[in-house]
Structure 1
Amino acid sequence: MMHRFEGTASYVATDDLTIAVNAAVALERPLLVKGEPGTGKTELAKQVSEGLGLRMIEWNVKSTTKAQQGLYEYDAVSRLRDSQLGEERVHDVKNYIKKGKLWEAFEADEKVVLLIDEIDKADIEFPNDLLQELDKMEFHVYETGETVKARQRPIIIITSNNEKELPDAFLRRCFFHYIRFPDAETMRAIVEVHHPGIKDSLLTTALTRFYEIRDTAGLKKKPSTSEVLDWLKLLLAEDLDAEDLKRDGANALPKLHGALLKNEQDVHLFERLAFMARSQR
């Protein structure tokens, strides 16, 4: 059965994004999704899983993660300890093998969505070490002599925050999509999903303010989609309206700016802009 992703009620997927997902599924290649933090890369995998009615397996990559952990880990220390204690279980090496997320996805009877999240956090060798397994959809377990083959080829979604370059050999095996930061129209649609019925005047003023902040030269960390949603949630909770968000030179910082600006350099930047605006009066 051909799986086709059309987006879901709780996720605004642009046309180019749905095309990318369906192309990766048709080609049976991993979908590599890049984009700045907060543009919905991780959420995409969850929505593909929901939209296609498939179970999702999530592998969160950290700086210490090794590719082998995705396959399996062999606990030789526990086996040695058990042998010293004369434990019966020591005779079966399988008792000391912990299955990884790839193994879990491969042995599933049904098709699953496998998310390999933030692959660029790991060592540069990490993607290269997975090439063979993702290509052949199988791997060998040396301790038991068995070969684990995928019963159903999983839909693999790999996210990257673009923190480091990924190897060419790895990129060649992926279908690539860059999630651009949403334009104002797409952002309105995203907000409507999360805050249905929000007053148009408040939304227009808030988004104008938000994009002004994002476009400010010298900003260290641009606020993301998830942060504008948090900010709007606070504005609604405080029952603020468009008038409360009106910009005046005396205060360049938006109301409840802690939801948008996440470091002191950026707060100081806006304070300096406010000071310059006052001194020019």
Structure 2
Amino acid sequence: MPAWPVYTGTDEPHDGVAQLPDPPPWRAFDGGPVLPVPAEDDHDSPERRYRAATYRATRESVELVNAALVLRRPLLITGPPGSGKSSLPYAVARELQLGPVLRWNVTSRSTLQEGLYQYDPMLRLLAANRMARQNGLTQAAELPKADGSPAEDLRLGPLGTALLPYERPRVLLIDEMDKSDLDLPNDLLNVLEEGQYEIPELVRAAPHTPTVRLMVSGSRNHVEVSGGRVRCRAFPFIVLTSNGEREFPPAFLRRCVRLHLRMPEQAHLEEIVEAHLGELDTDARQMITSFLQRSSSGELATDQLLNAIYLTRIPGLEAPSRRELAETLMAHLGPVTEFDDY
């Protein structure tokens, strides 16, 4: 397979990421020891696997995904709700066989530390109970007091896990960045630029505990971290999504490849509906046309159309009820910009 495109936007998994060109000299990372990318998790959400299989990429999205992969830069995706922003990373992970997608759902209270690592008191309890069983004790309270190592309470977050020295890029979705605290984009700058971070608690403990095992995000697997420092090897494919509710700092924007998703045109929308619901009938085509007409006078999301078409196929619904339901489900999400005749 040629070096470009690595991601093709097709529905066929392949090993094209092995042909990914070398990074620019200023984006080369040398973390280690090298870790294999975990296999796809059979217990992952069926909804996530479905998203990946039914996503239909545009030419522009294929081009910019490849640009982000080759340049080792995050991909910032903006666009209206329902335009497929959060589905794209699942499609890329599926096609390029990059393992389970890591996900960080951002809120106004999210911090950089939360994305990198988290304190989880349950980890200490689980470890104590496991040791108790190994020692034939009935409960953890019978054990000698733990040594208080900070590693006993730490778990790597989604961003912290993505930056481990994997041999191939992990896929990380940082969803709804525009809902974050104003400082978070700036706080991310150094980590995304350097491809590394420190865990101060482990750096301080390094003289007497140089290597610790930490649980990673999204699974019960553990990795070894030495000296409290993590540095990536293959820079992760990071997708940040935004509904456009706020502006980001120029310093943050220039470190991202930017993709704006628009409302699909007729042919693309038909492909999307067909991927989800099978062959289109006359009613479905008419509903797609109506959806596009209505979207010109107010904001609509593609999943509203999918819900409406799905209901029209339920046995027993009479035509008038189908039309009424479709109109209700395809209500505008915001102010109507011009007169719209239902």
Q: 2:259 aligns with which of 165, 170, 177?
A: 177
Alpha-carbon shift at residue 150 of structure 1 (Å): 1.2
Alpha-carbon shift at residue 240 of structure 1 (Å): 6.7
The 8 Å contact of residues 205 and 245 in structure 1, kept in 2 or not, is answered as no
Q: 1:233 to 1:87 in 2, by over 3 A?
A: farther
Give the count of matched residue pairs: 252
Q: 1:259 aligns with which of 308, 316, 329?
A: 329
The 8 Å contact of residues 25 and 155 in structure 1, kept in 2 or not, is answered as yes
Equivalence for 2:162: 105
- Counterpart CA distance in 2 for 1:33 and 1:128 is 18
The 8 Å contact of residues 107 and 148 in structure 1, kept in 2 or not, is answered as yes
Q: Which amino acid aligns with 1:261?
A: A
- Decide which moves more: 98-107 or 50-59: 98-107
The 8 Å contact of residues 35 and 160 in structure 1, kept in 2 or not, is answered as yes
Question: Pairwise mapping of residues 69-218 of structure 1 onto structure 2 (< 5 A)?
Answer: 69-74=114-119, 88-107=145-164, 109-111=166-168, 112-145=170-203, 146-199=228-281, 201-216=282-297
Alpha-carbon shift at residue 109 of structure 1 (Å): 3.1
- Decide which moves more: 87-96 or 23-32: 87-96
- Counterpart CA distance in 2 for 1:177 and 1:264 is 23
The 8 Å contact of residues 5 and 22 in structure 1, kept in 2 or not, is answered as yes
- Counterpart CA distance in 2 for 1:29 and 1:203 is 39
Task: Give % identity.
Answer: 33
- Could you say what secondary structure the match of 1:176 adopts? strand
- Counterpart CA distance in 2 for 1:34 and 1:149 is 28
- Counterpart CA distance in 1 for 2:268 and 2:7 is 19
Alpha-carbon shift at residue 231 of structure 1 (Å): 0.9
> For residues 7-31 of structure 1, what are the alpha-carbon distances to aligned partners after superposition, in whole Å with 9 as ceiling and x for unaligned?
1332211111100100110111001
Q: Which amino acid aligns with 2:313?
A: L
TM-score by length of 2: 0.66
Q: 1:263 to 1:149 in 2, by over 3 A?
A: closer
- Counterpart CA distance in 1 for 2:200 and 2:188 is 16
Equivalence for 1:40: 84
Alpha-carbon shift at residue 130 of structure 1 (Å): 0.7
- Counterpart CA distance in 2 for 1:260 and 1:233 is 13
> For residues 172-219 of structure 1, what are the alpha-carbon distances to aligned partners after superposition, in whole Å with 9 as ceiling and x for unaligned?
1000010111011111111111121221x2232111211222223xx4
- Counterpart CA distance in 2 for 1:172 and 1:256 is 42
- Counterpart CA distance in 2 for 1:13 and 1:6 is 9
The 8 Å contact of residues 309 and 326 in structure 2, kept in 1 or not, is answered as no
TM-score by length of 1: 0.80
- Decide which moves more: 65-74 or 106-115: 106-115
The 8 Å contact of residues 60 and 116 in structure 1, kept in 2 or not, is answered as yes
Q: 2:102 aligns with which of 44, 57, 69?
A: 57
Structure 1 residue ranges without an equivalent (≥5): 80-84, 247-252, 275-281
Q: 1:239 to 1:25 in 2, by over 3 A?
A: farther
Equivalence for 1:66: 111
Alpha-carbon shift at residue 51 of structure 1 (Å): 1.0
Q: Which amino acid aligns with 1:98?
A: R
Equivalence for 1:234: 311
Structure 2 residue ranges without an equivalent (≥5): 12-53, 125-140, 204-227
- Counterpart CA distance in 2 for 1:223 and 1:212 is 11
Equivalence for 1:82: none
Q: 1:114 to 1:87 in 2, by over 3 A?
A: farther
The 8 Å contact of residues 227 and 260 in structure 1, kept in 2 or not, is answered as yes
Alpha-carbon shift at residue 60 of structure 1 (Å): 1.1
Alpha-carbon shift at residue 96 of structure 1 (Å): 2.3
